[in-house]
Structure 1
């Protein structure tokens, strides 16, 4: 009868804990990034029942139970689309890292981030999202107001390689940023100079250029048939100039000769022209039929390509699946300015809850680490999806079923205490 008391009391306490755990799961069924807790039970004591006939098997009877641990369900939650570019979801294994008060480092699957007043990426509790900065943002006088400064992109970066797990820092997104102009250094032309043009007729090719000071200009090459034509092929004179008011230093004169098949006789056909203080190498052809040709009856569209970009201002941000933060500018240029870290652990179950929906490391989880490839470069080991959030992985049907089971077990144990008490009371009365 005493054993029934032990089992009943411990069972009531144990299943009350189970009710609390599953009740908490149900309460967080709509919490972004929430990972369900799974209660695990164990015996407090057990007694071995030995068979008097030396049977090879032994039976045990329990003398109470307890809540041994609460495991973390690492099942992937469903993804929900969002309009916020800083809403992030991890598809696969891994954790976002956030830095709290006193630079304490925590880990979470909740990716509902935003920026604070200073432009740092933070979660709903004000913790800073961790990652590696590209270190390619400086300061310069604001072109629109020289008395103030504006963040400026110092170099264009395609992607960022994460440093060490301990070297991750806060990520800041300027709300306004300047992309300096890139002067044009080369231009390439392709076209079919019309054989049927008469002497004096002009065939123009044009390309847009950017000067070192960021101003926009037009390179024009005017072709006219030479007065004297060879017996086979054609001969053309050209005048290249920058803008109509071009100075002599920005004007180049030359002659091109084509053979009977319409290919340039002299290759490569190149020249340099001054673009308001910056030299531009102009290419008219490097191999036969690759640049300019002069073929009768051939319909070849003209085209021109020049490098260089005008100045631009920040247009917005996006985050790719490799967690690179890409800044886009209104001049069409893109650059990564940082990369969000995705942390991994030897034992995710060993992480300790630190309140809310964040975790911290423990001796059981081990320290955070990054995956690397054969060349030593860090790889995420998962995909980061922006404009999306990971929903709670709690199955409401499973949670309600488990809650009913826990409630029934609680009632049964409570009933066993009442029954044991009645049996003891009867035994006492029998002695009277």
Structure 2
């Protein structure tokens, strides 16, 4: 046999190998995930000959198939409606296996598996009857299983997901169709709240009265600018002037002006500061009065009154009093005090008027003259004593006042000092004392007159012995404070829903051009939705905002079915609470770690291959990830059919090694894919280039034909040589 036949024969076989490979590529042009084969040829051998010339005279002998390499180019990607259809874009392979109990561990420097596993780019996955993810041949899809599905129930535990998703262990993935999400009891709630102090006025009684007792200090310490009256904000920066005009019984007038803010004389910010100023300048009392106590809706009001028996005319004016609804006038009134009668017997604490002086009976009953018996009578008021007039002639028995003292002219026409001037203050009720008729006492910010016989009964509880009287009080409209109620759903361990209700009341606050500070009192409790009953005790906590709008809030601890709820109203992890006036009071966002029972609704897989399960209770959480591995040498993988590739070993230096090298995990320590990404709802088509394949087919056909022609030529030459012998 000559070399022509040998060479052409090897050429025919080699090109047949090429034709087989190319035709296989064309046959799989629409096979999902198919990897194109690239036939590669090499010289069969070259015999060694000796030559002394400057060039080689060796002739390569024939051709043979060197390899049928795998094309690692990405194919095209097409949309697919399969729930678990996946496409991988980049360097790497999906992992599948025949054993549902199998496990594969891929470490940095080692690799182990309990069974044979295969690798594919065909992401045409679905679920079998048991909920395992499988490919079209029924092989199980391997990945990282976070172990959250136990006995058909999903148990949430997202704390270490990032770390666990970077696991080196791969096993079959299973997602039961009737999967339930186990409910969890709420133990942590965060809320981002915007509180607008210009909205939602609420009865101030609910904010400042606890268990029926008014916290007067709290309301007096509050900046007046937090209050509303008759559903309108006091807006004290604009309504900042309060005027009081007093007209005495001799016709003299005196006007006092008070200003909200700072920097001026008689400036105030709080009701307590205004109360002190009014008392100091006018002698009037500014108090907080509780109204409608017998109704279901008691209320609070600002009350301006005089502690004197002889009350002057009082007129209030100015924008501040107008905003409170107190712009009015109260004419002079006097409590009825009987004049002293010598023949009448007086009981202890009875009051009489004598020579313009108000006396109170002390010690035992009697009818002695008040001026002549100081041990039996006490001077308690000199309001009605006239001022001394130098142009007037006085006679014995006349009483005048001058320079803070009260004088009586005796029968020698000499003025004798009998007392200092005294402004009558209503005495406070003392249950240890006896009170007779014409006795006046203060009790619970009200004035009472004794109308019964001498006794010491409680004025509020004895309407037959006492009657309430009024000396011309000026009352504001009912006070209100900005309010907001939030409602956040929480859950117990069985998934039953409750309401976490918080009531926000503005109790302190400044708000000027250069200063801003607000403090809201928050009362939080848990409400049963069905019965509307309160569950457990109400907890009081606070949130405040500084001048930079930064919130500060204590975390409230709320008892809830044997556990504690840590309730933080300073904000969520994404946004803080605020007190912006351009936005309504509302819950901007909230988060809590409890949830009810839920059924699996949807499965989604992100670009990193992480599998998220979404349940009907709104819970969405990772359960695992799709396994992806890569190889140093993809060409070392063995074609197994069915779009699968396997591992193949070889001996190198007497040791067994994988041709492809050990598998390499497709993600880093943070769990992110490093060599590609996954696309859910897509499939990767064959990476065969049809145009190139047809071209290769033609070239292989021509090569085959030419080698066949060479073979025929060689055969004819042999025949001719044989004929020469004949």
Give TM-score, length-normalised by structure 1: 0.82
Aligned to 1:366: 661
State how 1:9-408 maps to structure 2 within 5 Å: 9-47=9-47, 54-100=52-98, 103-139=115-151, 150-156=152-158, 158-159=161-162, 160-164=164-168, 167-179=169-181, 180-188=183-191, 189-194=193-198, 195=226, 197-198=228-229, 199=478, 201=480, 203-212=483-492, 213-222=494-503, 240-243=524-527, 245-247=532-534, 249-252=536-539, 268=553, 271-275=556-560, 278-283=563-568, 298-304=581-587, 305-311=590-596, 312-363=598-649, 364-370=659-665, 373=668, 379-408=673-702
Give the superposed CA RMSD. 3.5
Q: Cα–Cα, structure 1 residues 172 and 238, in superposed 2: closer, same or farther, change >3 Å?
A: closer
In the alignment, is the contact (CA less than 8 A) between 2:227 and 2:480 conserved in 1? Answer: no
> 1:47-94: CA deviations, max 9, x gaps?
45665xx33321432222221221111111111121123111221111
Shift of 1:372: 6.6
> 1:228-272: CA deviations, max 9, x gaps?
999x9999876544338434833346899999x8999x9645644
Q: Cα–Cα, structure 1 residues 403 and 310, in superposed 2: closer, same or farther, change >3 Å?
A: same
CA distance in 2, matches of 1:317, 1:56: 73
Question: Which range moved further: 114-123 or 70-79?
Answer: 70-79
> 1:68-125: CA deviations, max 9, x gaps?
2211111111111211231112211111111126942111111111111011111111
Shift of 1:169: 1.1
> 1:366-412: CA deviations, max 9, x gaps?
23232675x69785422122211111111111111111111111111
Paired residue secondary structure (2:709): helix
In the alignment, is the contact (CA less than 8 A) between 1:370 and 1:378 conserved in 2? Answer: no
Aligned to 2:215: none
CA distance in 1, matches of 2:684, 2:535: 64
> 1:28-63: CA deviations, max 9, x gaps?
111111111111222223245665xx3332143222
CA distance in 2, matches of 1:346, 1:249: 64
CA distance in 1, matches of 2:636, 2:549: 72
Paired residue secondary structure (2:719): helix
In the alignment, is the contact (CA less than 8 A) between 1:187 and 1:283 conserved in 2? Answer: yes
Higher-Rg structure is: 2
In the alignment, is the contact (CA less than 8 A) between 2:26 and 2:690 conserved in 1? Answer: yes
In the alignment, is the contact (CA less than 8 A) between 2:545 and 2:578 conserved in 1? Answer: no
Question: Which range moved further: 127-136 or 378-387?
Answer: 378-387
Paired residue secondary structure (1:354): strand
> 1:174-214: CA deviations, max 9, x gaps?
21222213415335443123345234547341222313243
In the alignment, is the contact (CA less than 8 A) between 2:96 and 2:120 conserved in 1? Answer: yes
In the alignment, is the contact (CA less than 8 A) between 1:370 and 1:380 conserved in 2? Answer: no
> 1:279-330: CA deviations, max 9, x gaps?
44455669xxx7575x9xx334223335244312211111111111111122
CA distance in 1, matches of 2:117, 2:639: 13
Q: Cα–Cα, structure 1 residues 12 and 170, in superposed 2: closer, same or farther, change >3 Å?
A: same
> Unaligned regions of 5+ residues in structure 2, if any?
103-114, 199-225, 230-477, 650-658
Paired residue secondary structure (2:723): helix
CA distance in 2, matches of 1:78, 1:254: 60
CA distance in 2, matches of 1:427, 1:351: 49
> Unaligned regions of 5+ residues in structure 1, if any?
140-149
Aligned residues: 407
Q: Cα–Cα, structure 1 residues 271 and 106, in superposed 2: closer, same or farther, change >3 Å?
A: closer
CA distance in 1, matches of 2:687, 2:548: 69
